[in-house]
């Protein structure tokens, strides 16, 4: 038995999702003739109260397209130092769009309106890059699944409006935030110029993200997706998985959040654990006591069939997901309680 808690990207489509994919009506999406993709894009756009959406093979490509849409070469993006668009997209922002970052020292991956305002370069000072976009990640990946407060996001929006900045949301795990905070997608649609949402993490689809914006912006996105090589043909088979996920896999995220919190409570009681970071959604980060190192913990859990990941500096991560069922959860809880070093 192998229990994979390395990420929520490890899930496989359920039988019911596979059946929905098998039954999909498809066409050539490069010509916008795939009825399932068209329906999926409209469904997501409507959900967020936006005019249009575009299906992408990955969240990284959707984010990179948003950066290209919102900036010009030489511009600067303001975001947290732990942002995915900075750390985990292979330098794509500089390679694809010729932009750099003003990295803010936020709290658990979250920045404030006050920090954003202080980070904007004077547009008349031509020696500095032109501040052009603010990037937000919700939930925060490296911040342990932390969720932004909507009021703070509104304050950042006001700063963006006052300074003519574009506002992008990397919502790879936005579904988790929406469920945890009892929010609605339209609350985010009202705030952000562009939003990317992922379907291959908490919602269990095998592939795909969607970028959402106004109609004119998404029309321009078609060309950028083509430039990036992201056009797909009969992608309705994949879009059908996204449609199934929207209908069946959002509310059940509460189970992932509950199990992550229960894992955290167990870890807090263990004498070899130094600290468990606050848990809001499905990501759990904890730190081991010295001289114990994370590699030793990983190997001992692996011997019990439990896979987790290291974040370095004594920190370890677990991520719950829809393939992590209750019976597996109970096994992991028992295994942790019995572990000693």
Whether 196 and 310 share a structural domain = no
Residues 149 and 258 in one domain: no
Give 270-308 pLDDT, tens digit per residue: 999 999 999 999 999 999 999 998 999 999 999 999 999
Average pLDDT, whole number, for the chain? Answer: 97
Q: Are residues 226 and 261 in the same domain?
A: no
Q: How many domains is the chain partitioned into structurally?
A: 2
Indicate if the pLDDT at residue 340 is higher than 90.
no
Alpha carbon distance 129, 37 (integer Å) = 38
Query: What residues make up the domain containing 199?
Result: 12-248
Structure tokens at 96: 């694809």
**271 lies in the same domain as 225:** no
Give the CATH number for residue 244.
3.40.640.10
Q: Mark whether 173 and 236 lie in a shared domain.
A: yes
- Whether residue 259 is contained in a domain is answered as yes
pLDDT interval class at 208 (50, 70, 90): very high
User: In sequence order, what are the residues at sequence separation of 6 or more whose Cβ sits closer than 8 angstroms to the Cβ of residue 89?
Assistant: 60, 63, 64
162, 32: one domain = yes
Residue 19 scores a pLDDT above 90: yes
> How many Å apart are CA 186 and CA 339, to the nearest integer?
45
H helices present in the chain, as ranges: 15-22, 35-48, 59-70, 84-87, 92-97, 113-118, 150-162, 174-180, 185-189, 215-227, 236-248, 253-268, 294-303, 326-338
Q: Quick check: is 3 in a domain?
A: no
Q: What percent of the chain has pLDDT over 90?
A: 97
Average pLDDT over residues 253-275: 97
Does position 89 have pLDDT exceeding 90, yes or no? yes
Instruction: Note whether residue 1 is domain-resident.
Output: no
Dump pLDDT digits (tens) for 132-160.
999 999 999 999 999 999 999 999 999 99
CATH code of residue 303 = 3.90.1150.10
Same domain, 237 and 287: no
Copy the structure tokens of residue 57.
């093979």
Q: What is the mean pLDDT of residues 237-250?
A: 98
Cβ 321 vs Cβ 313: under 8 Å: no
Residue finishing a domain among 248, 269, 300: 248
243: tokens are 């449609």
Helix (H/G/I), strand (E/B), else coil: 197: strand
Count other Cβ atoms within 10 Å, centred on residue 157. 20
Residue 127 is predicted with a pLDDT of 97
- Are residues 244 and 296 both part of a single domain? no
Residue 93: inside a domain: yes
- Mean pLDDT, residues 212-234 taken together: 97
Last residue of a domain, one of 248, 282, 301: 248
Asked if omega into 204 is within 30° of 0 (cis), the reply is no
| Distance from C-alpha of 21 to C-alpha of 15, rounded to nearest angstrom | 10
pLDDT of residue 196: 98
Give the per-residue pLDDT at 170: 98
- For residue 7, being part of any structural domain is answered with no
Q: Nearest 5 degrees, angle CA 316-CA 199-CA 259? A: 40
Whole-angstrom CA distances from 45 to 21, 33, 240 are: 21, 18, 16
Are 180 and 304 contained in the same domain? no
Which of 200, 233, 248 terminates a domain? The answer is 248
Q: 194 and 48: one domain? A: yes
What pLDDT score was predicted for residue 47?
98
Assigned domain for 236 exists: yes
Read off the pLDDT of each residue in 220-239 and give the average, rounded to a whole number.
Answer: 97
User: Tokens for 89?
Assistant: 């997209």
* 135, 167 Cβ separation under 8 angstroms: no
């Amino acid at each position: 038995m192998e229990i994979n808690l390395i990420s929520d990207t490890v899930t496989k489509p359920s039988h019911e999702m596979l059946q929905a994919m098998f039954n999909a009506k498809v066409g050539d999406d490069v010509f916008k003739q795939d009825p399932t993709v068209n329906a999926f894009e409209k469904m997501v756009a409507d959900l967020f109260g936006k005019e249009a959406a575009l299906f992408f093979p990955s969240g990284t490509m959707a984010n990179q397209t948003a950066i290209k849409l919102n900036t010009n070469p030489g511009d600067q993006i303001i975001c947290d130092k732990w942002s995915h668009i900075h750390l985990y997209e292979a330098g794509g922002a500089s390679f694809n769009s010729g932009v750099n970052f003003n990295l803010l020292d936020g709290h658990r991956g979250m920045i404030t309106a006050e920090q954003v305002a202080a980070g904007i370069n004077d547009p008349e000072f031509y020696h500095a890059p032109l501040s052009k976009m603010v990037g937000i990640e919700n939930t925060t990946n490296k911040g342990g699944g932390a969720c932004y407060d909507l009021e703070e996001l509104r304050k950042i929006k006001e700063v963006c409006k006052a300074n003519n900045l574009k506002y992008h949301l990397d919502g790879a795990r936005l579904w988790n935030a929406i469920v945890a905070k009892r929010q609605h997608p339209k609350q985010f649609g009202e705030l952000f110029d562009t939003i990317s949402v992922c379907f291959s993490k908490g919602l269990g689809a095998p592939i795909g993200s969607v970028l959402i914006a106004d109609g004119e912006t998404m029309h321009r996105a078609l060309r950028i997706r083509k430039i990036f090589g992201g056009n797909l043909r009969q992608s309705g088979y994949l879009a059908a998985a996204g449609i199934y996920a929207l209908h069946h896999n959002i509310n059940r995220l509460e189970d992932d959040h509950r199990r992550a919190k229960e894992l955290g409570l167990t870890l807090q009681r263990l004498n070899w654990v130094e600290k468990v970071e606050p848990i809001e959604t499905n990501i759990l980060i904890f730190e081991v006591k010295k001289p114990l190192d994370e590699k030793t913990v990983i190997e001992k859990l692996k011997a019990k069939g439990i896979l987790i990941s290291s974040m370095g500096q004594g920190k370890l991560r677990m991520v719950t997901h829809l393939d992590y069922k209750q019976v597996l959860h109970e096994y992991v809880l028992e295994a942790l309680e019995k572990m000693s070093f």
